[in-house]
């Protein structure tokens, strides 16, 4: 088992939770060394005007270790923003979050936006979330990082906005910097569902990206798909390259990897909302008791989950006729248990309630859930997570989730439709599945850029069929034990860099909406495809209670 970073002795780390490791590190490095200044937080700022009369604001800073630094003697004209990345709010038709990074402290950071590149008169101050990482091992250097965020509220639906980020001395509206402008587009309003059929759209997804030529290649192919948003199923940059949540390997953690990652991803994420969930490599004990303090400094995710202070990567949003749920599988992982039970069951309760709400929502046809650890995979590295199977798979089946997307295993693997851990319908490439009657399909899309894993049986994918009826594999049980199993649900296996794109075609009432799921290699070659259908208006009878008693499938 790989062992990560940052200075907790191995004999202690083996027995410590993430919170216990955080407290150990705080005690080891004095408060005087950790805190050099307070957080800079900006309150609500009125925007108003032609953009709808709304407001834009920055939310309270969440990282526990913050430093504002000093701006004395720095010429802002020579400091260029980098690492721009977009995120939706909980309501993508009216809410956007814009984030970026600067290498040193700057004066008066801000965002400009408007409906035309020559009309950027709406100027919003930014919130600074700064991280200080001390020299954790002899010979290393302390690292200061400065992340900036703006939340835009009350935007007009289905509208393209131009935006630029800057600070004193660097104005994106100036002739010298106008080339740094980007755009984002809000989702159509969900209020008109039955009066108008939504236009088709595409989204993309993968996990386990990191910083590499393969990661960069995948980004380029993703941008060519013109997605409305992208889902990243955890293990984002690998600043912690080990990812076991144990801090025995003192020389592994490199905070600067985040700088390289955000610069690499900016080519896509500055234009396409980059919606992340958190994996085991994203738990960094130095910054907060739950390991997510650093992530909270870098990303500005929706806060409508069960408890953003505890599991900040858990949230939901709705885009046109698709409801999307992000989960934190560290909370239920038997394989890597440092955050096991961190939400005390609240995440699973929230998941059940959110699935029920989405199935009862007449504007939602499809439900997509993404998170890191795999419910169903057969690689020799991580295989399947029994904690996910116990806590969440019954809910996925109860509410017939249309698509589950995972990372963790650095391959592409796709199951047949599954009910009760068994094949309920075979789904070869090119086939169609209707989850309401056929079961749930699970996709592992963890080959975004890190080194690849292996299968114990041959690859099988479009144009390269090697069907194996039964595969010997295992899953992680409580206590970390590996339980062997023979499975028949491993339908497609591909050992190379890849991602998935999902083409959604909404339909009118009484007809069937579709989601075509296509797996593409980093060269753009198609390796798998299948189509998910759901009749518009087909869904769960909201009379069912949380235990599944009463109610039922209403079609």
3-state DSSP call for residue 483? strand
Record the tokens describing residue 340, joined without a space. Answer: 């096991």
How many whole angstroms separate alpha carbon 169 and alpha carbon 409?
45
User: From residue 483, how far is each of 386, 424, 476, 479, 480 by CA, in Å?
Assistant: 9, 22, 6, 11, 9
3-state DSSP call for residue 420? coil
List the one residue out of 199, 398, 231 whose CA is nearest residue 323. 231
Match 């019954």 to its residue by tokens: 394
Chain-wide mean pLDDT for the chain? 87
Residue 191, phi-psi category: left (phi > 0), alpha (psi -120 to 50), beta (remainder): alpha
Record the tokens describing residue 99, joined without a space. Answer: 């984030």
Average pLDDT of the residues in 441-462? 97
Alpha-carbon dihedral 387, 359, 307, 202, rounded to 10 degrees: 90
Record the tokens describing residue 460, joined without a space. Answer: 């099988």
Residues 38-185: name the CATH superfamily: Purple acid phosphatase-like, N-terminal (2.60.40.380)
How many whole angstroms separate alpha carbon 532 and alpha carbon 534?
7
Q: Where are the domains of the chain?
A: 38-185, 205-246+253-456+466-554
Beta strands in 468-525 (DSSP E): 471-476, 482-487, 490-494, 498-505, 512-521
User: pTM here?
Assistant: 0.89
3-state DSSP call for residue 241? coil
- pLDDT > 90: what percent of the chain? 74
How many whole angstroms separate alpha carbon 243 and alpha carbon 245?
6
388-444 residue pLDDT tens: 999 999 999 999 999 999 999 999 999 999 999 999 999 999 999 999 999 999 999
18-71 residue pLDDT tens: 787 777 666 666 443 433 333 333 322 223 223 333 333 333 333 333 334 445
How many whole angstroms separate alpha carbon 242 and alpha carbon 1?
9
- Per-residue exposure over 72-110, b if at least 16 CB sit within 10 Å of its own CB, e if not: eebebeebebbbbbbbbbebbbbbbbbbbbbeebbeebb
Q: Please give the full DSSP string across 422-470, using - where no structure is assigned.
A: EEEE---TT-EE-HHHH-B-EEEE--SSSPP--BSS--BBTTB----S-
3-state DSSP call for residue 551? coil
456-498 residue pLDDT tens: 999 999 999 999 999 999 999 999 999 999 999 999 999 999 9
Contact 131, 65 (CB under 8 A): yes
The neighbour count for residue 481, using CB atoms within 10 Å, is 12
522-537 residue pLDDT tens: 999 999 999 999 998 7
Which of the listed ranges 49-58, 72-81, 183-192, 317-326 does the model predict with the highest average pLDDT? Answer: 317-326
CA 410 to chain centroid: 16
The CATH class for the domain spanning 205-246+253-456+466-554 reads alpha beta
Contact 100, 79 (CB under 8 A): no
How many whole angstroms separate alpha carbon 198 and alpha carbon 195?
10
């Amino acid at each position: 088992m790989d062992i990560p970073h940052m200075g907790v002795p191995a004999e202690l780390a083996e027995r410590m939770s993430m919170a216990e490791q955080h407290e150990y590190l705080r005690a080891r490095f004095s408060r005087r060394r950790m805190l050099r200044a307070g957080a800079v937080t900006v309150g609500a700022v009125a925007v108003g005007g032609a953009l709808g009369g709304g407001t834009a604001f920055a939310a309270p800073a969440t990282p526990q270790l913050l430093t504002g630094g000093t701006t004395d003697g720095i010429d802002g004209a020579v400091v260029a923003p980098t690492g721009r990345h977009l995120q939706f709010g909980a309501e993508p038709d009216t809410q956007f979050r814009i984030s970026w990074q600067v290498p040193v402290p700057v004066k008066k950071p801000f965002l400009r936006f408007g409906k035309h590149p020559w009309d950027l008169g709406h100027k919003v101050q930014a919130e600074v979330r700064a991280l200080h990482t001390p020299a954790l091992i002899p010979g290393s250097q302390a690292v200061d990082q400065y992340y900036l965020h703006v939340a835009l509220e009350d935007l007009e639906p289905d509208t393209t906005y131009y935006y630029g980020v800057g600070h004193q001395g660097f104005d994106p509206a100036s002739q010298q910097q106008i080339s740094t402008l980007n755009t984002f587009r809000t989702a159509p309003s969900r209020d008109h569902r039955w009066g108008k059929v939504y236009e088709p759209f595409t989204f993309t997804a993968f996990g386990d990206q990191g910083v590499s030529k393969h990661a960069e290649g995948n980004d380029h192919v993703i941008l060519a798909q013109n997605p409305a948003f992208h889902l990243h199923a955890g293990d984002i940059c690998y600043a912690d390259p080990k990812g076991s949540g144990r801090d025995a390997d003192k020389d592994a953690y490199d905070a600067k990897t985040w700088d390289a990652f955000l610069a690499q991803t900016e080519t896509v994420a500055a234009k396409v909302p980059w919606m992340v969930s958190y994996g085991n490599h994203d738990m960094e004990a130095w910054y907060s008791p739950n390991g997510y303090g650093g992530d909270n400094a870098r990303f500005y995710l929706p806060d409508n989950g069960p408890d953003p202070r505890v599991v900040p990567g858990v949230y939901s949003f709705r885009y046109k006729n698709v409801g999307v749920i992000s989960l934190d599988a560290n909370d239920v992982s038997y394989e890597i248990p440092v955050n096991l039970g961190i939400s005390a069951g609240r995440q699973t309760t929230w998941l059940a309630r959110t699935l029920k709400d989405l199935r009862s929502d007449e504007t939602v046809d499809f439900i997509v859930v993404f998170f890191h650890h795999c419910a169903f995979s057969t690689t020799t590295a991580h295989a399947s997570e029994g904690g996910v199977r116990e806590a969440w798979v019954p809910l996925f089946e109860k509410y017939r989730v249309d698509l589950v997307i995972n990372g963790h295993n650095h391959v592409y693997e796709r199951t047949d439709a599954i009910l009760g851990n068994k094949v309920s319908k075979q789904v070869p490439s090119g086939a169609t599945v209707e989850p309401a009657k056929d079961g749930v399909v699970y996709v592992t899309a963890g080959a975004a850029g890190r080194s690849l894993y292996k299968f114990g049986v041959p690859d099988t994918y479009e144009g390269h069929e090697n069907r194996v009826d039964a595969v010997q594999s295992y899953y992680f049980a409580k206590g970390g034990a590996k339980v062997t199993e023979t499975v028949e649900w491993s339908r497609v296996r591909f050992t190379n860099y890849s991602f998935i794109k999902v083409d959604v075609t909404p339909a009118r009432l009484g007809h069937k909406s579709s989601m075509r799921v296509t797996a593409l290699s980093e060269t753009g070659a198609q390796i798998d495809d299948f189509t998910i259908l759901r009749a518009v208006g087909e869904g769960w009878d909201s009379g069912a209670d949380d235990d599944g008693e009463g109610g039922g499938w209403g079609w």
